[in-house]
Amino acid sequence: MHVDVQLHSLSGLFARGDALRSEYASAKPWPHIVVHDAFPEKLLDMVAAECVALHETNMIATNTDRLVKQEISHGLGPATQHLLSLVDSARFREFVSAITGVRDLLSDPTHKFAGVHRTPPGGFTKIHRDFEVHPTTRLFHRVNLLIYLNRDWPEAYGGSLELWPADMSALGRRIFPQFNTMILWETHGATLHGLPDPVTCPPGRMRLSVASYYYTTTRRVPAPGERRVRYWAARPGEDHCIERMSWQDHLRALIPDPLYNVLRAARDRISRARRSRAS
C-alpha cells in the first residue's frame, strides 16, 4: 500500500487557525474544537481498512463495568503510521499549540494509550478524566486529538462522544463519530468525557478512531476554582458506584508508578499470548 500524503495537504486546516482558535476558546462545556473534513479522505479510508484488519490477538482488550474497548499502539499499518506521523510532526504540533494555547508540545512516538481505538458492538467508556503522567517518559499529558474513521455509520449505531462539565450537572455536548471528524482539547481534571452508552452497531462493525496525545515537560497549572474529580464520573441518574474506588483502585494507589507500569506491561503481554493460543 503506497501512502503519499504530505503536510501541504493540511494547508486548508492550518489556514483556519485564527477562526478555530476563537471557536476553541468559546466552546462549551470547556474549550475544544470539532473539525470536519480536515484530512484527505483517501488516507483515512486506507487507515480505516487497516484498523479493521488488525487481529484481535494483537489488541489490548478491556472488559469491565466501566470500559469495554480494544486498543493498540504497535504493529500499525503504513497508512495509520503515516497519519500519526503527520499529526505528530513539528508543524502540526505548532498548529495544536496555536489553537489550545499549550506551548512546547511533544509527541509520543510509542503512542501509549493512543494509536488505534476500536469499540465493538456493546462497547462503551464511562465518563472519565484522563491520566496525567505518561507511564514511561513521565511527561505530562496535556492535549488529546481524536480522528473518527466510521463511514456509513447511521445514528442508530450510537457511539457519540459526550463532553461534561466538572460538576456533571448537564450534558455539555454530544459529538457523533462521523467519518473524517477531528476533535481537539486540552485534557485535565475538569475535562470530563466518554462514550457512556453501548455502541449498537451490528456484528462485524466497530466504532473506529485514531488518537494522538501530546505532552509537556511541565505540569499544567490548574485554573482558579478548577475542580478536579475522580477518574470516573456518573451522569445524572446513573448509579454512583461508577465513581467508587474498587479494591483494585485502592491497591493501585499503593503501588509506585514504576512498578505498576512494569506489572501492566506484563499483564498486556500475557493477555496477548493467551488470545494468540486461543485463536
What whole-number distance in Å separates Cα of residue 177 and Cα of residue 88? Answer: 22
Helix axes of 17-26 and 90-100: crossing angle, nearest 10 degrees: 40
Instruction: Label residue 26 exposed, middle or buried (CB < 10 Å: 0-12, 13-18, 19+).
Output: exposed
Cell numbers standing for residue 201:
452497531
What whole-number distance in Å separates Cα of residue 1 and Cα of residue 210? Answer: 19
Cβ proximity of 141 and 131 under 8 Å: yes
Helix (H) or strand (E) holding 180: none
Dihedral sign for Cα 78, 112, 160, 30, please: negative
Spell out the residues 6+ positions from residue 268 whose beta carbon is closer than 8 angstroms to its own.
60
- Sketch out the chain's domains with CATH numbers: 7-244 (2.60.120.620)
* pLDDT tens, position by position, 196-228: 999 999 999 999 999 999 999 999 988 776 666
What is the pTM (predicted TM-score) of this model? Answer: 0.87
Q: Which of 165, 7, 167, 155 minimizes the C-alpha distance to 92? A: 7
pLDDT in single tens digits along all 279 residues of the chain: 556 667 778 989 999 999 999 999 999 999 999 999 999 999 999 999 999 999 888 898 999 889 999 999 989 999 999 999 999 999 999 999 999 999 999 999 999 999 999 999 999 999 999 999 998 899 999 999 999 999 999 999 999 999 999 999 999 999 999 999 999 999 998 999 999 999 999 999 999 999 999 999 999 988 776 666 678 999 999 988 878 655 555 565 566 656 766 676 676 666 656 656 655
